[in-house]
Amino acid sequence: GGDKIDSFGLSDGGFYYDWDRDSGDTISGIKTFTLSNEDGLYVFKRNRTGVFQFDSSGGAVRDINVGMGAVSHKSIHAAGNELRYWGDDGVGSVRNEANFANIIRTKILSIKADTIVKSVTQSEIGNVSGHFFDNLSFFGLPTGADGTGNTTCLVYDDEFLGWSEWRGMRPQVFATFVGPDNKPTLYFGDSATGNVMKMFSGKNDNGDPVVFRITTKQFDNDKPYAYKKYKKIIYIFGNITGSSTVLRILEDGVRAQLPAVVQAATGNTGFHQDRWHEQRWHESSGTYEQDASGLIIRYADLFNKDLFSIQTTIENGGLEDDLSVIGLYIIFADSSRPLPSSNKLRRSVSYI
């Protein structure tokens, strides 16, 4: 106490708790959290996770995992009923074991985002930041050259249990601020400019377009070995603004149809509507609506092609566009087309 507030010496009232002190692995982060209705100070090394709790003899650190830990203290954050962090294998979590209220376990969450996890610049891995806001876990990641800081953001959605990469963000650190209106707002510090950026405000990234892109799996009706006769892909949108939404279709993972632009149209366009000598090229008697909502249905004709699989991509790179995707339907039927003879294995016969 007094003028010894910066001293942890025993003679000055300080104390130490040893925890795996001879391993050579230093503490990378600490975080208070409550699991199993017990408060604890969770302690992370790079390859070890433990929890400190007081007891009748003073206190001690109990091991939770002796092979996994955190590489960045800025990545450790509470997300609902679990504690998340960035480790050497990606995003990990500390949580209660299901159906066992007093057992705590660790788990790797980012297996399905392993490609992005492996792209992290190892020399900058200590800069990984993390934060939880509005059912989303954000992780600012360094994927560029040394010294460039965090260059992208990996996001886990607790509602849909899925991962996505937000490339317009370069968050070196996050913070949630609650204003006079009692509404929380998420901010982050930009690693490239040092500016404080406000999230979920406006429709672009500080003047740059937000490129939205989703790609489906290859739909093959669980029969990747058989042809199917594909008729149509039906897209259902809930809202479209602007004219920057583009659809692409990939057939059998190789052949791609030409991209098609989707917009909420009014009036008529094209032949039989635009008259010669009355309409110039690039002009039309029809227009598109700047803002349309409700069920907007579009479809692509697949012309009853015999294919093994079909895949589609929806992309929007408009500066001020809105896009809401509600559903996707693929219309197909069984095909009687046999596998080509070129796929047949040939016997190798030796003659003496």
Give the pLDDT confidence score for residue 277 in this predicted structure: 47
Closest alpha carbon to 151 in 131, 168, 165, 170:
170
Higher-pLDDT residue of 5 and 284 is 5
Question: Buried b / exposed e across 32-52, counting CB within 10 Å, b at 16+?
Answer: ebebeeeebbbbbbbbbbbbb
Q: How far is CA 285 from the centre of its chain?
A: 41
Using the predicted structure, report yes or no on whether residue 67 has a pLDDT greater than 70.
yes
Average pLDDT in the 81-100 region? 87
d(CA 133, CA 156): 11
d(CA 68, CA 57): 28
* Of the candidate ranges 96-110, 131-145, 298-312, the one whose mean pLDDT is the lowest: 96-110
Average pLDDT in the 51-67 region? 85
SS3 105: strand
Using the predicted structure, report yes or no on whether residue 172 has a pLDDT greater than 80.
yes
Averaged pLDDT score across all residues of the chain: 85
SS3 335: coil
Give the pLDDT confidence score for residue 58 in this predicted structure: 75
Higher-pLDDT residue of 349 and 169 is 169
* Of the candidate ranges 170-179, 225-234, 341-350, the one whose mean pLDDT is the lowest: 341-350
Higher-pLDDT residue of 9 and 1 is 9
Q: Six-digit token pair at 109?
A: 């969450």
Tens of pLDDT along 254-266? 888 878 887 755 4
Give the pLDDT confidence score for residue 103 in this predicted structure: 72
Backbone torsions φ then ψ of 214, nearest 5 degrees: -125, 140
Give the pLDDT confidence score for residue 281 in this predicted structure: 45
Using the predicted structure, report yes or no on whether residue 164 has a pLDDT greater than 80.
yes
- On whether the CB atoms of residues 313 and 213 are closer than 8 A, the answer is yes
* Of the candidate ranges 40-54, 239-253, 289-303, 304-318, the one whose mean pLDDT is the lowest: 289-303
- The residue assigned the tokens 């209106």 is 181
Question: What residues have CB less than 8 Å from 267, skipping those under 6 apart?
Answer: 284, 285, 286, 287
- On whether the CB atoms of residues 129 and 75 are closer than 8 A, the answer is yes
Q: Six-digit token pair at 2?
A: 């007094």
Backbone torsions φ then ψ of 124, nearest 5 degrees: -110, 10
Give the pLDDT confidence score for residue 165 in this predicted structure: 93
Average pLDDT in the 291-302 region? 77
CA dihedral 73, 79, 83, 88 (to 10 degrees): -60
* Of the candidate ranges 36-50, 88-102, 107-121, 284-298, the one whose mean pLDDT is the lowest: 284-298
Higher-pLDDT residue of 188 and 285 is 188
Average pLDDT in the 234-246 region? 86
DSSP conformational letter for 34: E
- On whether the CB atoms of residues 79 and 58 are closer than 8 A, the answer is no
